[in-house]
Amino acid sequence: MKQENKKALPGFLMLLLVSGVFGGLAGFGGSLAANLGVGERAAVAMDGVLRALAVWGIPVCSVVLLGGGWWLYAAAKRRWRGWDGEDEDMISRVEEQLSWALLLSALTVLVDFGCISVGAVYTQGMEGLICVAELVVSCTVLVILQQKIVDLERRINPEKRGSVYDVHFQKKWMASCDEAEQRQMGQAAHKAVVAATYVCFGLWLALFFLDRVFDTGLLPMVLVLVILGVMQVTYTLECIRLSRKGESC
């Protein structure tokens, strides 16, 4: 244990040194940019982009992302219909295509709510109603796509249970998975927590220096830390709960 700590310590100290140097340079650069008025000019340019995004972001991104998702679903369904019941490689490719389709649907959710957030700030009156209508249409198509994907997955694996319209879908789906699938989910969830932790710290750092240029305020940084805190506390408490039941985290 001590040997591993001694071996890892120099790299950790170097990381702290590099982070300190980068932080100092970024802070100096942020102050210089603020004094030169870079923030004001960038804000004016960004204002036009966000106004266009508020109205056109949802339909354009939905056509691209949901269109890709429906294409992948249709391709997976055609392959499944031509499956002879023995070729495991083919059925693996079908499930992979369905997973990519689900990923595109998840990205659509992020884009939709991001655009409606922009619309709440940059639109009013009829434009605001158009944004809400676009969100409703996009979410409807999105839910139908997810329902089709889940239904096809259940046809491939009849033991699976759950409907996307059920508020307890995730719990029922997880319970119907075998141990190997549950382990895969656990590994994926752990990797997601690690990635989200790095992203949250990166966002906090970026917002810290952006505040020097754009005067974004304290709230964005606090919200990032709240998300990070909820994630870390939930993960740790769940590990404690599972360890009491004799299960691995």
H-state helical runs in 123-178 = 126-156, 169-176
Q: What is the mean pLDDT of residues 157-168?
A: 82
Most confident of 7-16, 30-39, 53-62: 53-62
d(CA 112, CA 129): 14
Q: Is the pLDDT of residue 164 over 50?
A: yes
| The pLDDT of residue 38 | 47
Could you tell me the pLDDT band of residue 162, with boundaries at 50, 70 and 90?
confident
Which residue blocks in the chain are alpha helix, DSSP H? 2-35, 38-81, 88-122, 126-156, 169-176, 179-214, 219-244
Residues 23 and 91: beta-carbon distance below 8 Å:
no
Provide mean pLDDT across the span 91-119. Answer: 90
d(CA 49, CA 83): 47
- In whole angstroms, how far apart are CA 169 and each of 30, 146, 175? 46, 12, 10
143 contacts 164 by C-beta, under 8 angstroms: yes
Q: Is the pLDDT of residue 101 over 90?
A: yes
Q: Report residue 33's pLDDT band, with 50, 70 and 90 as the boundaries.
A: very low
